[in-house]
Amino acid sequence: MNDNINKDDLRQFVLLLVDQFKQIIKNNQNKDDDDLNPEWIKSRVVKKLMDMSAASLKNLRITGKVRFKKVLGSYYYNKSDLMNLFNDKK
């Protein structure tokens, strides 16, 4: 078994690594964009953005007009449901 590594093999390996690094960086940039525009919004932020009381938000939750999740005592609301609700009011 005489597997010699020549310069061309090293060049191909480097090109492969560079391509993989580019892909990883691209994927991380897309992930960062998602963090800036989350799908689920905390109730405190919803109340502030939509200028509504906690009772109004609770009413939307109970009637099923918006999807929500409860995580460690905090409610998170689906952004697309809130946008549809806002668009329906116009």
Which amino acid is located at 31 in the chain? Answer: K
Q: Over the stretch 49-61, which tens digit does the pLDDT of each residue have?
A: 888 899 998 898 8
Q: Which residue has the higher pLDDT, 63 or 1?
A: 63
4 phi, psi to nearest 5 deg = -90, 140
Mean pLDDT of the chain: 82
Per domain, the residue ranges of the chain are: 1-37, 40-89
pTM of the model: 0.54
Cα angle value 28/16/35 (rounded, 5°): 5
- Is pLDDT at 90 greater than 50 in this prediction? no
- Is pLDDT at 15 greater than 70 in this prediction? yes
Q: Over the stretch 19-43, which tens digit does the pLDDT of each residue have?
A: 998 888 887 766 555 555 678 889 8
